[in-house]
Amino acid sequence: MDIVFIEDLRIDTVIGIYDWERRIRQTVALDIEMRFDNRRPAATDNIEDTLNYKSVSKRLIAFVEASEFQLVETLAERCAEIILEEFDVEHVRLRLAKPGAVRGSKSVGVQIERERS
């Protein structure tokens, strides 16, 4: 199966468990791989036949910007659910990073894989 990906999608949101984190917006970075059969869009050369990564990105940006989760685990799970439920995707691998969250590291976060049930 083919992969459509979005790499380093940076979005500002309220995320964290500490009081100071609840008062500011922090950047999270998403790397997303979505299984999608690209043979039909390649044959038709029609955007309507694709997994439109711009549409996926816009939907996630709107959702993440409006969210106020405490845990990156919860935010990652909800983003994966949106992709599986709203787009023609059977499987998603999503990495959600919180840059600068731990001193001395580039970023920390989670990576999950989910399939449509």
Distance of alpha carbon 34 from alpha carbon 106, whole angstroms: 25
Strand order in the sheet with 26-35: 3-13, 26-35, 91-99, 107-115
Please name the helix (run of DSSP H) or strand (run of DSSP E) that holds residue 42, with its range, or none: helix 39-44
Residue type, 3: I
Supply the residues annotated as catalytic. 98
Cα distance between residue 27 and residue 98, in whole Å:
7
Query: ∠ CA(109), CA(110), CA(113), 5° rounding?
Result: 160
Choosing among 3.40.920.10, 3.30.1130.10, 3.30.1060.10, 3.20.20.370, the CATH entry for 3-115 is 3.30.1130.10
Q: What is the pLDDT of residues 86-98, one digit of tens each?
A: 998 999 999 999 9
- Its pTM stands at 0.94
| Tens of pLDDT, residues 3-47 | 999 999 999 999 999 999 999 999 999 999 999 999 999 999 999
DSSP state of 34: E
Ranges of each domain in the chain: 3-115
